[in-house]
Structure 1
Amino acid sequence: MTNHEAPTPPYDYSPITERPTIRWPGGARVAFYVGLNIEHFLPGVPSTSIWPGTAELQPDPLNHGWRDYGPRVGIWRTIDSLDRYGIRASALVNSTATVEYPQIVAAGNRRDWAWLAHGSTNSVLHAGLDADAERRALTDIVDTIATATGQRPRGWMGPALTETYRTPELLAELGLEYVLDWTNDDQPYRLRVPGMLSVPYSVELNDLGLFGKGTSGPEFVRIVRDQYEQLRADSADSGRVMALALHPFVSGQPFRAKYVDEALAYLAAQPDVWLTTSDDIARHYRDTVD
């Protein structure tokens, strides 16, 4: 039985207490990156919603307009904050978004963002595909992003963190090197698929989940600080990764933006943090850890 046919995740159990030591550049203890979700949604297809009561309607102005605030307005506030603190985004981009929002692509390229493949559109989950259909879909996604951005993606995060059992294997065939979908660790680790890594991402330290559950702006800042402080304490013997997931239609809202800025200011001021991208985390781990 091959790996993708087995009903198990594509990795082996590895307690964090029994691994090679990770040393980040410059003696940093925590590698921090912003996973900036740049998503395109299809009008008339139910997806992430602020009010489920209208999600099945066509059209659904309430929910589609809420999501569409991100690329039109919210992301530009987020970009201002990232620029203020010298943080390059790890851009988790739908391939359709690179075609629909060329101004965002241009802004990201001017800032040397890392571009990760995030499916075609967040209205369609990456699931239920046979091998040939998935290979075609992934090839189109990766090629579209590479053409639009001038940078071939090295990482993948599925829409709503979705994969099939063969996704890492097919991504490796396309030259990708890591995935973010398996949010089960504070360090990168190797998958069973040769050449593929898992890099930490977070569904907990994530504006969509936190603010969606009623977290206030000041509480968000405290949560970010608490996350960093604990990871820094944990890193006394080996480096850790801290990912902050942002969705511009959520954290780019005017009444939240100043708290995101405050959280980024706090992190940028920490002497033991490496402000980086998921690409550079994967590269450093691959180059320095057996």
Structure 2
Amino acid sequence: MENTLFDYSPITERPTISWPGGARVAVYIGLNVEHFLVDRPSTSIWPGTADLVPDALNYGWRDYGARVGIWRVADILDRHGIRASVLLNSAVAEHYPQIVKAGLDRDWAWLLHGRTNSILHAGMSLEEERRLLTEMADTVAEATGRRPRGWMGPGLTETFDTPTLLAELGFGYLLDWTNDDQPYPLNVPGMISVPYSVELNDLLLFDRGVTGPEFVQIVRDQYEQLRADAEHSGRVMALALHPFVIGQAFRAKYLDQALAYLAAQPDVWLTTSDEIAAHYQRTIGRPV
């Protein structure tokens, strides 16, 4: 079947995007703040035990992010005056309220990221999904005081109905389709796609054996190319982070170096995915 959610649009044939202050590249930090179930296989560092219950090795690796890594990452973001765009499992509000409070103190942006990253967003009827999305959005709104405007599914998963149901709930954008360097409209009224990255992503980069210094160079290379591409129309750079990966002690200084580089660039707009979506909808697309 053909994909009807969005149309093909070459980046060379679009309206010009102008970011605030004349910036060429809008940069946001997609910070995955997740909850995992102890009896379900999830993201793993060692597949040999992933099907065991309990899987102490992999569960403990993931749990490091909520217990230790997130606080290290928050300190680094603070050092460079960067607000996170938090991809939030709604179960985090119940299990780790201290993390939500820390984010509220820092005015982080909050996106809905499913309930738990141990369960993918798939295999539901329309009404079941509507109920689930409503419950999750209400949970995040109650915990943060703001209704989420953005969505990224756990494991970047969604159903064919997800974008329409999100629009019904007042969402304006999603991150699941990682196929562009600019926002673009979806064939759902009021909904757009905002770039996210499975390439510039600590989980996948370090799993491939990338070192800390190589990570810093990759961030620099990404920005430099996007800046060059943006001579006539703005681009988006998403840096995807997981506290149980980049929050490890031996990697923290490399995140610090990468963010120091980005914060020093004269043509960067260090912002949130919410602000990118709102600016695009206000100046190019249809506001929601």
TM-score between both structures, scaled by the size of structure 1: 0.97
Secondary structure (helix, strand or coil) at the match of 1:249 reads coil
From 230, 245, 260, give the equivalent of 1:250.
Answer: 245
Q: Percent identity?
A: 73
The aligned counterpart of 1:207 is 202
- Say which SS state the counterpart of residue 27 (structure 2) adopts: strand
Which residue number in structure 2 is paired with residue 159 of structure 1? 154
Distance 1:114 1:249 in 2: 20
**Aligned with 2:142: secondary structure?**
helix
Find the residue that maps to 1:161 and give its secondary structure.
Answer: coil
From 101, 107, 111, the counterpart of 1:112: 107
1:28 partnered with 2:62: no
Structure 1 position 8, deviation (Å): 1.5
Structure 2 segments unaligned to the other structure (5+ residues)? none
| Contact 2:4/2:187 (<8 A) preserved | no
- 1:9: how far off? 4.8
Q: How does 1:92-171 map to 2 (within 5 A)?
A: 92-171=87-166
Q: 1:179 aligns with which of 174, 189, 200?
A: 174
The one-letter code matched in structure 2 to 1:148 is: A
Q: CA deviation at 1:7?
A: 4.8
Give me the whole-angstrom Cα distance separating, in 1, the residues matched to 2:50 and 2:261.
37
Q: Deviations over 1:251-282 (max 9, x none)?
A: 00000111011000000000000000000000
Unaligned runs of 5+ residues in structure 1 are 1-5
Q: Deviations over 1:207-226 (max 9, x none)?
A: 00000111000000000000
Is residue 61 of structure 1 aligned with residue 50 of structure 2? Answer: no
Structure 1 position 280 matched with structure 2 position 271: no
Q: Distance in 2 between matches of 1:58 and 1:241?
A: 41
For residues 221 and 92 of structure 2, what CA distance do their matches in structure 1 show?
33
How far apart, CA to CA, are the structure 1 residues paired with 2:39 and 2:15?
Answer: 49
Q: Are 2:173 and 2:192, in contact at CA under 8 Å, matched by a contact in 1?
A: yes
Tell me which amino acid in the other structure corresponds to 1:164.
T
Contact 2:38 2:59 in 1 (8 A): yes
Helix, strand or coil at the partner of 1:159: coil
**Aligned pair 1:72/2:67, yes or no?**
yes
1:197 paired residue number: 192
- Answer yes or no: is the 8 Å Cα contact 1:9–1:165 preserved in 2: no
- Alignment of 1:16 with 2:11, yes or no, is yes
> When the two structures are aligned, how many residues end up with a matched partner?
285
User: Contact between 1:39 and 1:97, CA under 8 Å: does it hold in 2?
Assistant: yes
Q: Residues 73 and 243 of structure 2 are in contact (CA less than 8 Å); yes or no, is this contact kept in structure 1?
A: yes
Residue in 2 that maps onto 1:52: 47
Q: Distance in 2 between matches of 1:149 and 1:99?
A: 12
Q: Which of residues 32, 44, 58 is equivalent to 1:37?
A: 32
C-alpha separation in 2, matches of 1:289 and 1:62: 47
Aligned partner of 2:236 in structure 1 is 241
Q: Is the 8 A contact 1:91 1:113 kept in 2?
A: yes
Structure-2 separation of matches of 1:121 and 1:252: 20
Cα 1:274–1:205 change in 2 (3 A) is: same
Q: CA deviation at 1:98?
A: 1.4
How far apart, CA to CA, are the structure 2 residues paired with 1:240 and 1:57?
A: 43
RMSD, matched Cα: 0.8
Q: 2:77 aligned with 1:82, yes or no? A: yes
- Report how far residue 46 of structure 1 moved: 0.2
* Cα displacement string for residues 89-132 of structure 1 (whole angstroms, at most 9, x for unaligned residues): 00000000111111110110111111000000000000111101
